[in-house]
Structure formats: structure tokens, C-alpha cells
Amino acid sequence: MPFVNFLWVYRRQYILQYTTGSLKTSILSNFRNNISLQSWNHISEYQNPNDMWHAWKATFNSFADKHAPIRSKRVKAIKSPCVTAFLKDKVHKRDVQKIKAIRSNDPQDGLTYKKMRNSVNRAIFCAKQAYFKNSFSDNKDNPKKTCNIISSHPRIGKAPTLVKLI
């Protein structure tokens, strides 16, 4: 039986975290013995193949969770070159104002938060715009660096994958 690896990736605001579970650290023979002792007859009670699949998957995942404990590891996120300490400070103040507006339920605090939110969004947009303009003007004679700058852009850098065969 091949090793079972689980990988879930999700992104938080500044932290990238992944969670894995693997049978590599477990005793494989113990896993094989326990899974062979399990009664799989309840799966054949279903007529719908989708229901059969869900029942099998639930049973298998319960075994896999026992034998491949899930571990979490934090990884630093990639820093954006256009984000400065000034922008981080503005974002922090905006977040504090949002919490204040939610807790107080005051319309004035809500308006203050909206103004701060719009200000931060404009500042981020202008910082990105200035960064790319300066980068392109500094590297206009170097096509390799220009290509790297374009590929570092989150929306432009990664072209969508086209499925040609189904």
C-alpha cells in the first residue's frame, strides 16, 4: 500500500500555514492490519456510487487520522517589495478602527473606518503603481529583470492553466 499524504494549504493575512499527515512516521504494518480487520460491508448497503464513495472515504479517513497524526507548521509569507513600514502602520490603524467601530456600533466610528479603509486602499494602489513604474524605468535596458518584475506581479505573473484534454 502506498504512503498516504495529506496536504492542506491556506493563507492568512501575513502567515502561510500548512498542515500535513503522513504514514511515513507510522508503522505501516500496524496500519495494514487495522484496515484489514475493518468491516467494509456497510459500503455495499448503498445503491448510489456517490454515497458508497463517501462512506468508504469516511471510514478510510478515520483510520488515516489515527495512524498519520496531523501536524501544523508555520512558514513565513513572501514579503511584497512595495509594502513599506508606513503602509503597515496605516493598515494596523485601519484594523484598530474597524474593531472600534464594530464594538461601539457608533455611526461616526463607522464613517471614520470607511475613510481610513479608502485611504489605505488608495495608498496601497499608489505604492504598487510607484514600485512598478520605478522598477520598469530602472530596468528598461535589462529584459531579464523586467520579465522577473512582471512575473512577480500576483495577477499577471501566473497565467491560467488551460485544460486541453478531459
| Residue range(s) defining the domain that contains residue 60 | 5-76
Q: Which of 76, 104, 121 is the last residue of a domain?
A: 76
* 84-119 per-position pLDDT tens digit: 889 999 999 999 999 999 999 999 999 999 999 999
**Total tally of structural domains belonging to the chain:** 2
How high is the pLDDT of residue 145? 84
User: Is 160 contained in some domain?
Assistant: no
* 7-61 per-position pLDDT tens digit: 333 333 344 455 555 555 446 677 777 778 877 788 888 888 898 888 888 888 7
Residues 22 and 68 in one domain: yes
Closest CA to 63 of 16, 95, 113, 26: 26
* Low-confidence winner among 2-6, 21-25, 90-94, 128-132 (lowest mean pLDDT): 2-6
How high is the pLDDT of residue 99? 93
pLDDT at 134 over 80: yes
CA distance 19 to 73: 6
